[in-house]
Every structure is written in C-alpha cells, then in structure tokens.
Amino acid sequence: MNRRVRIAAVLGLAALAAGCAEDAPQDMFQPAGPNAQSIYDLSVPVFIIAGVIGVIVMVFIAIIVVKFRDRGQAIPDQVHGKPTLEIILTIIPALILIGVAIPTVGTIMALNDTSDTECVINVTGQQWWWEIDYPTQEGCGAGIDEPIVTSGQMVIPIGTPVLVRGTSRDVIHSWWIPRLNGKRDMVPGRVHTNRIEADEPGIYAGQCTEFCGLSHANMRMEVIALTPEDFEAWKLNQIKPYESPEADTLAAAGEQTYISQCARCHQVNGLEDADGAPIVSRPDLSVYSGAAPNLTHLMTRNTFAGAAFNLLSPECRPRVWDAPPDTVGEEYLKGVTPDCLNSVELREWLRNAPAKKPMYADPTKLEATDGLVRGMPNLALSEDQIDELVAYLLERQ
Amino acid sequence: MFTTGSKFLIGAAVLATISAIAYGVTQDGVMGTVGLGSAAVALWFLAGVNLFTRDNNYWADEIDSIEAAPAAVRAPANSVWPFAFAFGAAVLAVGLVTYQAVFVIGIVLLLASGAEWTAEAWAQRASADAEHNAEVRDRIANPLEFPLAAAIGVGVVVYAFSRVMLYLSKTNTVIAFAILGSIIIALAFFFAYRPRVPSKAAAVVIGVGALGLIAGGAAAGLSGERDIHPHETTSGLNEEGVDICTSPEEFEADEKASQSVGATAAVAATITLNSDGELTYDLNGPSATGSQGITLPRSNPNNIVFQNRSGEARRLSVSLGTIVEEGTEEEVPYLMCTALVDDGGAQNITVNVALPSITSPDGYSFFVPGVESAQLNLIVP
C-alpha cells in the first residue's frame, strides 16, 4: 500500500468516525419522537440501499477502469444494442425506485397529517429570531386560557402531538428541530404546519435552515419538552401578573430605563405608565419585521437574541442542558437566577447588540427599509443604564 | 489613408470617449464612466489594429502592398439603412425634448437600422458577386428579422384591437368584433372556394385590413378610453366613511363576493356563521377551539376565511378598537369587513393588527351585522 492510499484511508476513517460524535444536539439520527423516528426508519434502509448500489457501481467502474485500461491495444468491435440487457438495466432501477417511493410517500403523508394533534403553537420567523405564541385553546394539556408569547424556546408537554403553525414576517425562514421532525419553510403570508412530539423531557436544538440574511447562522431555537406537570407549572408562570420591582432599587431604576429605551419595541405584559395605562410597544414603527421579542418572562428561557447566546453562565448551563430526563424539567423551571446569569454576554449585548450579532441595524444606512432596522440597533446605553437594565431583566421570571 | 473598417472603429472610439467624458461630468457614480471608458480604450485599440492590418486585406509584413492598397476595393450598393439610421437619430433627438415615447421609438429605429446597415455592409464584403452577398446577408439576418417582424406585427394587431375595445362601449365592442369576425370568416371562405383569385387580391385585402386596423387603433387610441367604472371595495367604502361594516344591507362592493376566496393554503383560521346565528372557528388544528375566542399573532397578515352557512347573505366584520382619522384627527371605530357573502359561499379577509387587543377597552371582536348572537372575541397578544 503506497503512502497516498494510506493517507486517503486515514482521512476516510476520520470522516467516518466524525459521525459517531456524542455531542450532536442536531442529529437527525438520534430521533426523540415518533415523527423523527418515522423519518429515521425511512432514512436508514434507503441509505443502506443507496449505499449498496453505490458500492456496486463503484466496484464495477473500478474493475472496468483497471481491466480495460488503454495499453495500446486495438479498439474492440463496436456493437450497438443489447435489448435484453438494456431492459433488465431499466427494470431493476425502476423497481428499486418504486420500492423506495412507496414508504417515502407514505411517510410524507403521515407526517403531513395534523388531524391527531392536541396542541397548537404558532411560530413566526423574522430576522433573526423566532417568536413562539400559544393561542387560547383547550389543547396543550389542561388548555391555554390566556395567550402566551415567548421567543427562542418552545416549551411543549411530552407525549403530546403538537401542531406547529408557522409563518414569517419578512423573508423565508425554515424551522427544523432535527430530533423531532423534518424541516418546514416558513413563508411570509402563508401558514405552514409541522407536527412535533417528544417522547421524554429534554432540550432539543435546531436552527434556521433557509438562508435569511446576515445573521442566518445566529438564528437558533430550542424545543423544551417537559412532563405534563412541569408544563402546567411553566404555563402558570407565563401568565402570572406583572410585579413591579421594589421601590428605590436598581431594578426599579431599570424599569424606568426599560420604559424609556426598550419599550418602543419590546413588550413586557402588565407594565403600566404613571397613569395606569398599559405600555404597549410599537415595533412596527422601528423594526422591518414589525416585531421584537416579548421580554415579560425573559429569565424563564435560558437563551436570548435568537437563542444565539446563553443567559445561563458557563458554570450553570450544564446543570440544565446536560440534565437527565427526570430532572431537566425541574432544572429548567428554575429559570435564570442571579448567581447563574451570564451577565458578561447580556451586558455585551446591551452595550452594542450589532457588534455581538451582525444585523442591519445602523439607522443611518437604511434607505432600502425606509429607516426601519433589521435586528436590534446600538442604543448607546451608559454603563449605569446597563446595570439597571440587567437588574430589571433579572426579575422577569 | 483610412480604411473602411478603421473609419467605423475610429468613429465608435471617438463616440465612446466623448460619452465617457460626458457621463463622468454629468452623472453620479463611476460605473458608467468606467464602462464607457473601457469601451473607448477597447475601440481605440481595435481601430489601431485594424488600421495597421488595413482591414486584414493584406498581411502586415507585406509593406509594399499595405502602402499601395486603396482604402476601399468596391463602392457599396445603394442602401436605405443609412437614411433610416439618420432618421432614427433625428427622432431620438426630437424625443429628448418632447416625449419619452418618441425617444424610445428613436432608439429602436437607431438600433434596428444600425443592425441592418451593419449586416448589409458586412455581407457586401463577402465576395464580388452581389447576388451571393445578398444570400449571405439573408442567411444571417432573416432568422432574426422574421420572428421580430412577426412579434411586432402581432403586437401592433393586439395593441390596435385593445385600443378599439377600450374606446367602444362593452355592447358596441361585442357587436363590432362579431361583425369583424364574420367578415374575416366570409373572406376566408371566399378565398378558399375561389383558388383562382389572384394572390395579389388576397394581399390587397390583407393590406387594406391591416391599414384599417392600424388606423382604427390609432384613432381610438387618440380618442382615449371609455369611462370605466371602478368596482367599489369594502375597504374603499369604509375609508370613505360608509358604514358598510356595520350594515347587513347590500352595497355595490358586495356583488359577486362569494366568488372571491383565494389563498386557501395560507389560511390562519376559518370562521363559520352557522344556521343558529353563531360564529365558530377552526384554527387548522383539531383542538384549537376555546371559550376565550380566536388568537391571532400581532403584526402579521392573517388570512381568515369566512364561511356563511346561515341561510341568508351575510358579511363578517371585525372591530379593532379605534383609529385616528386623517384630516379630522378624530378617533373613529377601526373596522374591517368582507363583502356580503351568499349562503353557502365564502370569502377571504386579511387581518393585520399592529397593536395588541389590550389597547382597546372593549377588546377586538368579529361580528356579523344583523345577527346579534354572532360574536367572537379576537385576542392579539
């Protein structure tokens, strides 16, 4: 075996071994629900069939290339037409394709069926984050009596077929949680559905899979699957009334800073002005997509800015993300506590968001969008304002 | 002496140079100047090469031949294209100071006659045989000329027909074109049954018809279009202050409303008025019904299909709080509605709400004018 062949063999084995990575949260070959399982059950035999055929073809090519290589011999007699061989070589691939097509079409149709779903969750993509809202309904466990709006992390009860109804506010995005189902494009003006279901509690990662602009790679999302009891606890927490920070605290100052700097685009449900009127954000006046993440319960999710950054510190993150199924719900519901806050990245974000995540957020260069920003602009906050905001946001539990 | 090809290339190079300078001085941006400047450099280079090789009639190292060669070997035949080219340039210049359409015609004339002139001049250099040269020219030009001429012909016919149709009233259009169609069929039968009629007669008939059509189209086009009454819409009437969204009565905007459902693949919800006078809804999911009402995302166009199964014509309206009216600056009810939908029919309404429903003291709601029991809360979080 010469040196080149040995190098090629080592590289090939290395590539093969890369498929065995354990820390692969977006691995469709580790299905965690019946929808992803049906895709897995289809993909594996199709992959084997295709692989076997590929190997056979390549072996034949290698034999022919070696055996009939040019040695200066005379060109053999040229013949035309071998009807029997041609018919056989047409029928065999056709039969293989039919054999693959029948289960493929069946799986696609089964995945598109939404008649047995028990929970409806709306997902809306925009540059570069996902909004997730729960319409009022009798499904989703004990039902949703008040709409819930969150972002980045979708919380679902395990063992419940969930109907994701997706659309977009600006460009085409694509929703894909590989361990729960295949991908689905989210198109402005259209509603596309995607059913997901998780067998056991856990955090299932995904990211936008349709190129959507500058920060496409930073548009991530997670599905958090909880037991029905934990899901109920999460839901009750999401609809609990707003509590103002205690007077004369840093968080109370942060509330005022929030109102003056953030409430133009971000909504905190229950926040009122001095006259008792609800403070309602108007992102449609500043943001191209017309939306910005709802921050009412920011610290109940553990990522921010399109799930691109961790709200949990590096020390605390494994406590939740690496938790076994029987404790992940409990750990997740603890939210982000002051001792676990990833204040470094949150401060960096508040200091200059476009420097942390590329966005078309420069107000001086927005002729194409009539002055509307894509993403969060640099608000030029002072360090004191950042301290106040961090204290205020920490109470958004 | 300058050769024929060199004259052309030098002229083009001068034109490109002047254009580059003019563009650079008068227009913003550098790309146009760069493009024209590049063209000028390339053309000057080609002109130099062409001049040196004497249009490639002689080898460059045949010094004696080059120095002794005449500028042109044969005078070109008479041609209409230089005249057409000059006419196009004149039309273009007139168009610059009059109308854009004249300018466009000038450009088309200039390009077309320039292309024809170039093809003809090129073909005339093919050989000393004028007949052969004409064949060469046709072989090159006809594959372009025939489809273009056909496209222009069809375009003229369609445009002339459309002008006549838009000038005449609906009824007169039907009558006029029924008569015209009958005449064309009669003539076709006549020529089919009388094969001995000279082909010139058919050509004359077609020519007269074409001229008549162009003349009719031009006359109709100059006379303008008939008055076309715009069909009212519910949103248009709403903006005019007509209380269509609270009325069960029929308006002009309600005509043929049941035929206007579209975009069913992008439906956010289907709302049905049943025979009991109640509004029910389906969010495209089996368990999406609830006692609180229908929830729609904020700042997103939501397509709602309204199905009327009540037994009589009804419309679906949605109350979205109040809005400040432009001009009067007064707060007025913010309403949207479908047209009047016949029993069994359906219509689409797109609801895009920027503000959450908590901003309205009474919230948002769907309702059906004339049916008090038909109420459905709309929640926008």
Nearest by CB to residue B285, choosing from A120, A145, A290, is A120
> Radius of gyration over alpha carbons of chain A, in Å?
27
CB B307 within 8 A of CB B279: no
Cβ separation B381–A282 shorter than 8 A: no
Query: Cα distance from A115 to chain B (closest Cα, Å)?
Result: 6
Q: Report the alpha-carbon distance of residue A128 to residue A307 in Å, rounded.
A: 10
Q: Report the alpha-carbon distance of residue B328 to residue B15 in Å, rounded.
A: 59
Q: Report the alpha-carbon distance of residue B347 to residue B262 in Å, rounded.
A: 8
Q: Does B348 touch chain A (CB under 8 A)?
A: no
pLDDT of amino acid B51: 80
> Radius of gyration over alpha carbons of chain B, in Å?
35
Query: What is the separation of C-alpha B66 from the centre of its chain, rounded to a whole number of angstroms?
Result: 55
Which residue, among A136, A171, A195, would best test binding to B if mutated, counting the most B CBs under 10 Å from its CB?
Answer: A136
Query: Cα distance from B351 to chain A (closest Cα, Å)?
Result: 11
pLDDT tens string for chain B (381 positions)? 677 778 888 888 998 898 888 888 887 777 888 888 999 999 999 888 888 777 766 555 566 655 555 544 556 678 889 999 999 999 999 988 888 889 999 999 999 999 888 888 888 877 777 888 888 888 888 888 899 999 999 999 999 999 999 999 889 999 999 999 999 999 999 988 888 888 888 889 989 998 998 999 999 988 888 888 777 888 888 888 888 888 888 888 887 666 555 555 578 888 999 999 999 888 766 555 555 688 888 888 888 889 999 999 999 999 998 888 877 888 888 999 998 988 988 888 888 888 888 888 889 999 999 999 999 999 888
pLDDT in tens, A84-137: 988 998 999 999 999 999 999 999 999 988 888 889 999 999 999 999 999 888
Name the amino acid, one letter, at B41: V
pLDDT of amino acid A208: 96
User: Which residues in B lie closer than 8 A to residue A293 (C-beta atoms)?
Assistant: none
Cβ separation A282–B355 shorter than 8 A: yes
Strands B371-379, A129-134: pairing is unpaired
Nearest by Cα to B373 from B274, B250, B296, B254: B274
pLDDT of amino acid B289: 54
pLDDT at A45 over 50: yes
pLDDT of amino acid A365: 79
pLDDT of amino acid B72: 47
Maximum average pLDDT range among A152-156, A281-285, B88-92: A152-156
Nearest by CB to residue A282, choosing from B291, B297, B354, is B354
Q: Report the alpha-carbon distance of residue A111 to residue A28 in Å, rounded.
A: 15
Cβ separation B284–A114 shorter than 8 A: yes
Return the HEC string of chain B.
CCCHHHHHHHHHHHHHHHHHHHHHHHCCCCHHHHHHHHHHHHHHHHHHHHHHHHHHCCCCCCHHHHHHCCCCCCCCCCCCHHHHHHHHHHHHHHHHHCCHHHHHHHHHHHHHHHHHHHHHHHHCCCCCCHHHHHHHHHHHHHHHHHHHHHHHHHHHHHHHHHHHHHHCCHHHHHHHHHHHHHHHHHHHHHHHHCCCCCHHHHHHHHHHHHHHHHHHHHHHHHHCCCCCCCCCCHHHHHHCCCCHHHCCCCCHHHCCHHHCCCCHHHEEEEEEECCCCCEEEECCCCCCCCCCCEECCCCCCEEEEEEECCCCCECCEEEEEEEECCCCCCEEEEEEECCCECCCCEEEEEECCCCCHHHCCCCEEEEECCEEEEEEEEECC
Strand partners of residue B377:
B365
pLDDT of amino acid A200: 96
Nearest by Cα to B297 from A211, A157, A294: A294
Nearest by CB to residue B381, choosing from A147, A189, A282, is A147
Q: A37-42 long-range contacts, Cβ below 8 Å, gap at least 24?
A: A38/A107, A38/A110, A38/A111, A39/A107, A39/A111, A39/A181, A39/A182, A41/A107, A42/A103, A42/A104, A42/A107
User: Which residues in A lie closer than 8 A to residue B289 (C-beta atoms)?
Assistant: 137-138
pLDDT of amino acid B179: 94
Q: Does A112 touch chain B (CB under 8 A)?
A: no
Nearest by CB to residue A169, choosing from B266, B283, B300, is B300
Nearest by CB to residue A135, choosing from B266, B288, B356, is B288
Domains of chain B with CATH codes? 4-149 (no CATH), 151-223 (no CATH), 234-379 (2.60.40.420)
Nearest by Cα to A312 from A292, A331, A289: A331
Cβ separation B290–A148 shorter than 8 A: no
Q: Output helix, strand, coil percentages for chain A, rounded to the nearest 5.
A: 40, 15, 45
Q: Does A146 touch chain B (CB under 8 A)?
A: yes
Q: Report the alpha-carbon distance of residue A117 to residue A100 in Å, rounded.
A: 28
Residues belonging to chain A = 397
| DSSP assignment letter at A30 | S
Q: Report the alpha-carbon distance of residue A334 to residue A321 in Å, rounded.
A: 13
pLDDT of amino acid A181: 95
pLDDT of amino acid B181: 92
Q: Does B267 touch chain A (CB under 8 A)?
A: yes
Nearest by CB to residue B381, choosing from A133, A188, A290, is A133
User: Which residues in B lie closer than 8 A to residue A126 (C-beta atoms)?
Assistant: none
pLDDT of amino acid B22: 85
Q: Does B295 touch chain A (CB under 8 A)?
A: yes
Q: Report the alpha-carbon distance of residue A229 to residue A217 in Å, rounded.
A: 34
CB half-sphere exposure, B205, CA atoms < 13 A: 13
Query: Cα distance from A311 to chain B (closest Cα, Å)?
Result: 25
Q: B156-164 long-range contacts, Cβ below 8 Å, gap at least 24?
A: B156/B213, B156/B214, B156/B217, B157/B210, B157/B213, B159/B217, B160/B213, B160/B214, B160/B216, B160/B217, B160/B218, B160/B220, B161/B213, B161/B217, B162/B217, B163/B216, B163/B217, B163/B218, B163/B220, B163/B221, B164/B216, B164/B217, B164/B220
Class of domain A250-394: mainly alpha
Cβ separation A145–B290 shorter than 8 A: yes
User: Which residues in A lie closer than 8 A to residue B355 (C-beta atoms)?
Assistant: 280, 282
Instruction: Give the pTM.
Output: 0.69
Query: Cα distance from A269 to chain B (closest Cα, Å)?
Result: 9
